[in-house]
Structure 1
Amino acid sequence: MTLSALRVLLALAVTIHVLLTKRDTAAAIGWIGMAALMPVLGSILYLMFGINRVKRLARKLVRQRGAPGSAPATRWQKSVEGRFAPLASMVGKLTSRSLVGGNNIEMLHDGDEAYPAMLDAIQRANTSVLLCSYIFRADRVGGLFIDALIDANNRGVAVRVLVDGVGAGYFSCPTARRLRRAGVPCGRFMHSLLPWSMPFINLRNHRKSLIIDGVLGFIGGLNIGDENMVADCPRDPVSDTHFRVRGPIVRQLAAAFAWDWTFTEGEDLAGPTYFPDIDASGTDLMRIVTAGPDTDLEKIEFVMLQAMTLARSSIRLMTPYFLPGTRLSTELCLAALRGVTVDIVIPQRSNHVVMDWACRADIHPVLDAGCRVWSAPPPFNHSKLLVVDREWSFVGSSNLDMRSLRLNFEINLETYNAEFSQRVDDFIVGHCDRRVTHHDLDKRNYLTKLRDSGARLLSPYL
């Protein structure tokens, strides 16, 4: 009798908490069903994986420090005229960040171009170096970054390094160990050996950024490791795209890092060391957009949806994994049905075979609506790019899958510069190698289709 009563109480407690906290109906029904069928095991799993403790802490930080996008605005505030004015207005309200001008942006390809520029910037740093990376290997390339960071710290530069608690190594993180031994502050985001801290699956910091002296920034999809040096022909090469930015936008990039650093280490980064006055370096209008399962929930997805709604001629996107969920998939279909050219570029083969299986089961709707899906030839391309009408672009760390859009902490950059957007658009078009058709999907045998459809059910967790 006592055990039965305990099972009922556990199931009831989970049900009440789910009803009060879960917005997603399917997830709510799933957790309630699990608790009802397996009260003890279901309650343990919900305690480990179902409760978003990050949002609670993030709200506490907002009360103490203000929203992460509330860094002082620069004097470069301009309005966007034309069709994208509603987008600019919406994103400003959504993110609490100003659209700032006076910026310059350069596209860098692979580690071959990006790493030398990043290392040179670290070596030239005078006041501060802020580095965030999901993966930071302690291999040959990683060793070059570790040595440069240690040298900067030794000459009096304020260095802060943030790596993900899983991506950079869960059981062992040689990078963090070497940096800490040399006196370089290095935080491991959401790292804990306690299972209820959800270290294995959810809430990863997938952001990649580097800020030098508060005036020069790098942002994109590039991790730190030998595999990104494509010209060196590593065993499993990863091609990627990174961006170097100058101008007032760097202040927003630094503010995003400072928020993550405070969340992880409890140290506030403030003052001219990290946030100096910044002069104009160009004419580009830009804004940082962050997303994560905290106060920024789904903001990158909302920006994409609004931009696609405004498309009149073309939408081109490049992503390493295409599992967008119902909302983005529907918007892409609607755009294609109203006559917009929609090109989706995915790798011929990614570095996650189960993601590839799930993707093949997920692209039927967009093909049915008239979207064109292309497979890019090897090496595996890890770029995350979106361009609308060759006038507006959105680049950064966010993949087009439900994990990136709703579970990971991501950072993207929107630009209202036609010249830059055309360069990114041309880059995407250049990777449209082989078109994926209905015939390609239909010729799979029954067991392969069954496997791919089964993998699709795992898409929220891949």
Structure 2
Amino acid sequence: MAKDTLYARLISVLFLFLSACSNIPDQADKQTSYRLTPKADSPLANHVAPLISEHPEQTGVIPLINGLDAFIARLALIKSANTSIDLQYYIYRNDDAGKLLIWHVLDAAERGVRVRVLLDDLTSKNLDQGLLNLASHPNIEVRLFNPSYSRSYRGLEFITGFSRMNRRMHNKSLTIDNSATIVGGRNIGNEYFSNNEEVDFGDFDLMAIGDAVDKVSTQFDRYWNAFVSYPIESLASGISVEADLENLGSLLELEREAFESNQYVGRLKLSQLLQKIKDDSLVWHWGKSEVVYDPPEKAQNQLAQKWLLSDLSRFLSSAQKEVLIISPYFVPTSEGTKSLVRSAKAGLDITIITNSLAATDVLAVHAGYQGYRQPLLEAGIKIYEVKADPLHKPSSWSGSSRSSLHAKTFVLDRKSIFVGSFNFDPRSAHINTEMGIMFHNANFANAVVDGVESGLADSTYKLAIEEGELIWLDEENNVVIYAEPGAGFWRKFMADFIALFPFESQL
């Protein structure tokens, strides 16, 4: 009898879960919206207008390498907004960085700025209440991309609806007044902006003005109005709004007071970029650009002929002399490895920078990558793996603390560069949606390569083959290492164990 009761309860729970999953949230009240032309008195638009007029049909960029500078750039743009803010991210953490940024966003909404927040749903667990409160402001809308329909059974829905839920929006952009944008590899969280004692993601963004901005806005509009982008109100219908405008105003004041004594805010005030903004001494690099991105329909496994992979394949195949590939998650696959080997044997100088086993934050990715190192090295391709604890440099690509590479950048012939969210792996190519900017300026691209190369000895191990076996050269300390450096026995064991399973297509 007890066993029958247990079965009955299990069946009842399963029935309720499947019923919840089958009910697609109603989007009847969802309205389309598009980029706004900046108001005549937009300080940002008026500031960049003379620069743009001097460089017609070109894009001006400033590299954001240092985590503090990258965060200051976002805050400064949001603070200057008087028309619109479009915010699009894969991860948005409810930590100091996330709170400080959203405080500035709320402050902008209070000034009358229209705010559109588009987040991927996979990493927004437990944020429904806060997002619903945020969306209660008349100037703020919040949507979640490809969300779980059953908010209480997200884990189960991911299993039963894996083919849909597995496809995520990995795009990252922040656009202000349709006049300036930031595109790159960073999500929103302490670890991306040099405010995490345990790990610091070395990353790279471009702050851009000019021709690319409107194209980034077009990309945002497509995702915002896509069928798979759901208003938070349609998903969190069972949750009551805990805030009203008066409470939001009080929240603003409380957050402001809290951040006045925050150590991170004190460090932000020392940002070199902040000083340049104050001095009006920012230096923009100008050139032609293309904004490339997957269509949002990729989340429904549609329009494959228009996926970003095609654009990047053409971009990479145009290289004549050398290619620098920087990718934290590097899983080239058998076909990709064959292509790289053919190019190297044809005379192309290829350098790959990725995470070491000790530095990676996704062990499965290293398991998928490690078997491709030897054939790549044998073809003459140079591979560098980022140390988990490199010598800290203010402009280091790999950061400080326990560092982990997170930048996704490809440089061709020291003339053209791609900066975006795309990792050199099957997940970016075939599953997640991605975006980025291709920028053409030889001086800029050359400076990026020189900057990376100058830090390699301090921050990476150079891989080589000795008597048929992999070795790691620590050029900073003039040491040869004969096993995965900095990784303990269990980490090595787990990487080898995971490598036994056929998971590559999901990496």
**TM-score, normalization by structure 1:** 0.69
Match of 1:396 among 400, 403, 420: 420
Q: Do the aligned residues in 2 keep the contact of 1:140 with 1:226 (CA within 8 Å)?
A: yes
CA distance in 2, matches of 1:334, 1:110: 36
Which residue identity lines up with residue 360 of structure 2 in the other structure? S
Structure 2 CA distance for partners of 1:296 and 1:158, relative to 1, 3 Å: farther
For the pair 1:129 / 2:90, whether they are aligned, the reply is no
* Pair 1:165–1:262, CA change in 2 (3 A): same
CA contact (8 A) 2:120 2:169 kept: yes
Separation (CA, whole Å) in 2 of partners of 1:241 and 1:213 = 23
**Partner of residue 229, structure 1:** 193
Identical columns (%)? 24
Contact 2:90 2:120 in 1 (8 A): yes
Q: Give distance in 1, aligned partners of 2:66 and 2:504.
A: 27
Alignment-derived partner of residue 210 in structure 1: 174
Partner of 1:272: none
CA RMSD of aligned residues (A): 2.9
With 442-451 and 407-416 compared, the bigger mean Cα shift is at 442-451
Alignment-derived partner of residue 241 in structure 1: 204
Is 1:434 the counterpart of 2:461? The answer is yes
Q: Decide whether aligned partners of structure 1 residues 427 and 452 sit closer, same or farther in structure 2, where only a CA change above 3 A counts.
A: farther
The verdict on how the C-alpha distance between 1:175 and 1:367 changes in structure 2, with shifts beyond 3 A counting, is farther
1:284 is aligned to 2:287: yes
CA distance in 2, matches of 1:138, 1:213: 25
Partner in structure 2 of residue 118 of structure 1: 74
Question: Residues 65-123 of structure 1: CA distance to partner in whole angstroms, max 9, x if unpaired?
Answer: 9xx9xxxxxxxxxxxxxxxxxxxxxxxxxxxxxxx832101110143111111111111
Residue in 2 aligned with 1:164? 120
| Correspondence for 2:343 | 335
Secondary structure of 1:426 counterpart: helix
Asked if 2 retains the 8 angstrom alpha-carbon contact of 1:166 and 1:199, the reply is no
Q: CA deviation at 1:219?
A: 0.1
Query: Offset at 1:440?
Result: 2.6
Name 2:378's counterpart in structure 1.
368
Contact 1:305-1:331 within 8 A present in 2 as well = no
Match of 1:316 among 318, 321, 324: 324
Query: Residue 353 of structure 1 aligns with which residue?
Result: 363
- 2:205 match: secondary structure: strand
- Aligned-pair distance for 1:301? 2.3
| C-alpha contact 2:148 2:165 (8 A) present in aligned 1 | no
Q: Which is further off, 436-445 or 202-211?
A: 436-445
How far residue 258 of structure 1 moved from its aligned partner, in angstroms, is: 0.5
Say whether residues 1:191 and 2:147 are aligned partners.
yes
What residue is the counterpart of 2:315 in the other structure?
Answer: 307
| Other structure's SS at 1:437 match | strand
Shift of 1:171: 5.0
Unaligned runs of 5+ in 2: 1-20, 25-31, 35-55, 151-156, 232-283, 389-402, 472-481
Cα distance in 2 for partners of 1:119, 1:206 equals: 22
Taking a change above 3 Å as real, the CA distance of residues 286 and 233 of structure 1, as seen in their structure-2 partners, is: same
**Structure 1: runs of 5+ lacking an equivalent:** 1-47, 54-64, 69-99, 268-280
**2:437 aligned with 1:419:** no
Specify the SS of the correspondent of 2:82. coil
Q: 1:266 to 1:454 in 2, by over 3 A?
A: closer
Counterpart Cα distance in 1 of 2:494 and 2:105? 48
Distance 1:411 1:175, change over 3 A: farther
| Residue in 2 that maps onto 1:261 | 224
Deviation at 1:332, TM superposition (A): 1.4
Distance 1:410 1:177, change over 3 A: same
**Cα 1:461–1:119, aligned 2, differ >3 Å: closer, same or farther?**
same
Q: 1:424 Cα deviation (Å)?
A: 2.4
Corresponding residue number in structure 2 for 1:251: 214
Distance of aligned partners of 1:447 and 1:350 in 2 relative to their CA distance in 1, 3 Å threshold:
closer
Query: 2 CA distance for matches of 1:387 and 1:346?
Result: 14
Q: Equivalent residue of 1:362, what SS?
A: helix
Classify the secondary structure of the residue corresponding to 1:101. Answer: coil
Indicate the larger mover: 411-420 or 324-333.
Answer: 324-333
Q: Compute the displacement of 1:356 (Å).
A: 1.5
In 2, the alpha carbon distance for the partners of 1:412 and 1:200 equals 24
Q: In 2, Cα distance between the equivalents of 1:452 and 1:198?
A: 20
Name the structure 1 match of 2:399.
Answer: none
Once the 2 structures are TM-superposed, how far is the Cα of residue 413 of structure 1 from its aligned partner? Answer: 0.8
Spell out, residue by residue over 1:2-57, the C-alpha distance to the aligned partner (whole angstroms, 9 max, x if none): xxxxxxxxxxxxxxxxxxxxxxxxxxxxxxxxxxxxxxxxxxxxxx9xxxx9xxxx
Which residue, 398, 403, 407 being the options, matches 1:383? 407
Counterpart in the other structure of 1:219: 183
2:58 match: secondary structure: strand
1:328 Cα offset (Å): 2.9
Structure 1 SS opposite 2:61: strand
Alignment check: 8 A CA contact 1:111 1:222 kept: no
Q: CA deviation at 1:425?
A: 1.9
Instruction: Find the residue that maps to 1:123 and give its secondary structure.
Output: helix
1:180 and 2:204 matched:
no
Alpha-carbon distance in structure 2 between the residues aligned to 1:110 and 1:461: 31
SS in structure 2 of the partner of residue 145 of structure 1: helix
2:216 partner amino acid: L
Q: Distance in 2 between matches of 1:246 and 1:352?
A: 34
- Structure-2 change in CA distance of 1:265 and 1:193 (3 Å): closer
Q: Which residue of 2 aligns with 1:278?
A: none
The residue type paired with residue 180 of structure 1 is A
Classify 1:399/1:220 alpha carbon distance in 2 versus 1 (closer, same or farther; 3 Å).
Answer: same
Contact map agreement 1:360 1:452 (CA 8 A) in 2: no
> Bigger radius of gyration, 1 or 2?
2
CA contact (8 A) 1:132 1:162 kept: yes
- Larger mean Cα displacement after TM superposition, 249-258 or 197-206: 197-206
Shift of 1:410: 0.4
Distance 1:452 1:266, change over 3 A: closer
